Structure 1
Amino acid sequence: MTTQHTIKIEELGGADTALAFDVMRELRPHLTDADEFAELVRTQRREGYRLVVSYDETGLLVSLAGFRHQTSLYAGSHLYIDDLSTLPSARGKGHAGALLRWVDEEARRLGCAGVHLDSGTQRHDAHRLYLASGFVIPAFHFAKSL
């Protein structure tokens, strides 16, 4: 467990996954059931997905980062952040920044060349955090529903 001021960070194991449900719903409101969420995360864990969380000074889980180790031709070995979410009551208190620093350190530990993420175009506050944390915008992400 890492402590930064009053922010405590730890990686959640499978049995504790459902504890992050309320925080994940802030980012993924289509998720409506904690057990279904935990099952989806269990499936993703088989693909290398990991979940790290932060707690406030009262011990409340208030922020999370879900990520995986990937290797691609364009980026080499890197960590990809699928999910980064903070409860509204804890925003602006350093939790997301602390999680991004934790992921950076984990990427270094694993010998990764970098950290990547995608972010919805409407998430301006998140973009400010990413830019302030050293991220750049090297490309646009395109998607097509089938």
Structure 2
Amino acid sequence: MLICNPYEIVIQGMTNNNKPFRPSDWAERLCGVLSSFDQGHRLSYHQWVRPILVDNIRCVAVDRKLEQISATAFNFLMDFARDNDLRVLDCKALLEEQQHTQIPLKNAIKQENSTQQTTVTDQPAANTINTALRELTPEEDTTAFPALHRLHTNIRGIGQFQELIQIQRAEGYRLLGIFEEGKQNATTICGFRIQTTLIAGKHLNIEDLSSYHQPIDDNHIFTILNELKKIAHQEHCTCIHANSSVTTDSNNLHHLYLKHGFRLNSHQFTYQLT
């Protein structure tokens, strides 16, 4: 039985190729991005975004009011569905469909795909994905959120993310992104700025490097670093610095930096203020 409302849009955890979307808790994670703390200091889902279970398929129900209240959040959810090839349905139409058939939704998806798909055995498999690298404009900042949220999980939602990026941009922060063909959000993101210090002179400092896909694709690293080298030369920088945490999750990134000619030449200490 469906538990969505007629005024909601449903993002299903099933791709258009009839494959279950992973990880299994993707719906809770996606809703968690837009969640907030209530008056009792408990984390609660957004008023118009919630995880649901439809015929044993994890889904996210999105109230249409969200598009009017926060177009940024609504577009982020729709872009997420599009980028991951997830099925998006109008709940009202789905309810009417269920009233005329008793076929479980999961089976209905299989039947629909079987009638729409043509035989692909004679078609060559796609070996490469076309990508494009570009520097993001302030209007495109939200396209960096999915990738950077993997690195900065402390950021609770898009609104907070936009505020922080706006503050950083005023201080010289810039974003480079790699976009896969047909996808709205950046797959890999690099945040950097040009700085001048006594010890290093004028240099390019990499502050954030993260990808929606883990581990980060080595080709993406190569492409981004080459572009950063061009920018550094244009800005008459003497070197490129890279900030990276010492957590276990960063081990792969450390390896990639060393692989591409970086060397560890300093330590950064942190004193947490209370």
Where structure 1 has 5 or more consecutive residues not aligned to the other structure, the ranges are none
The amino acid that maps onto 1:129 is L
* Aligned-partner Cα distance in 2 for 1:110–1:6: 29
Matched, 1:133 2:267: no
User: Are the aligned partners of 1:86 and 1:96 in contact in 2 as well (CA < 8 Å)?
Assistant: no
Percent identity over paired residues = 31
Q: Which has the larger radius of gyration?
A: 2
How many pairs does the alignment contain?
142
Is 1:84 the equivalent of 2:204?
no
Q: Does the C-alpha gap of structure 1 residues 106 and 74 become closer, same or farther in structure 2, counting only changes over 3 Å?
A: same
Gaps of 5+ in 2: 1-128
Q: Following the alignment from structure 1 to structure 2, what is the Cα–Cα distance between the partners of residues 89 and 6? A: 18
- Whether contact under 8 Å (2:176, 2:189) holds in the other structure is yes
Task: Give, as a single letter, the amino acid of the residue that structure 2 aligns with 1:9.
Answer: L
Local SS of the residue matching 1:61: coil
Is the 2:188–2:210 Cα contact (8 Å) retained in structure 1?
A: yes
Alignment of 1:34-45 (within 5 A): 34-45=158-169
> Does the 8 Å contact 2:215/2:252 carry over to 1?
no
Pairing 1:54-133 to 2, within 5 Å after superposition: 54-59=178-183, 60-88=185-213, 91-92=216-217, 94-121=219-246, 122=248, 123-133=250-260
1:48 aligns with 2:175: no
For the Cα contact (< 8 Å) 1:64–1:96, is it kept in 2?
no
Shift of 1:89: 5.5
* Runs (4+) off by over 4 Å: none
- The DSSP-based 3-state class of the residue aligned with 1:66 is strand
3-state SS of paired residue (2:187)? strand
Secondary structure of 2:196's counterpart equals: strand
Go from structure 1 to structure 2 and tell me whether the alpha carbon gap of 1:90 and 1:135 turns closer, same or farther (over 3 Å shift): closer
How far did 1:117 drift? 1.4
Paired with 2:141 and 2:215, the residues of 1 have a C-alpha distance of: 20
Q: Higher relative contact order by CA 8 Å / sep ≥ 6: 1 or 2?
A: 1
Look up the SS of the partner of 1:119 in the other structure: coil
| TM-score when normalising by structure 2 | 0.49
Q: Give the SS at the match of 1:126.
A: helix
Two-structure CA RMSD over aligned residues (Å): 1.6
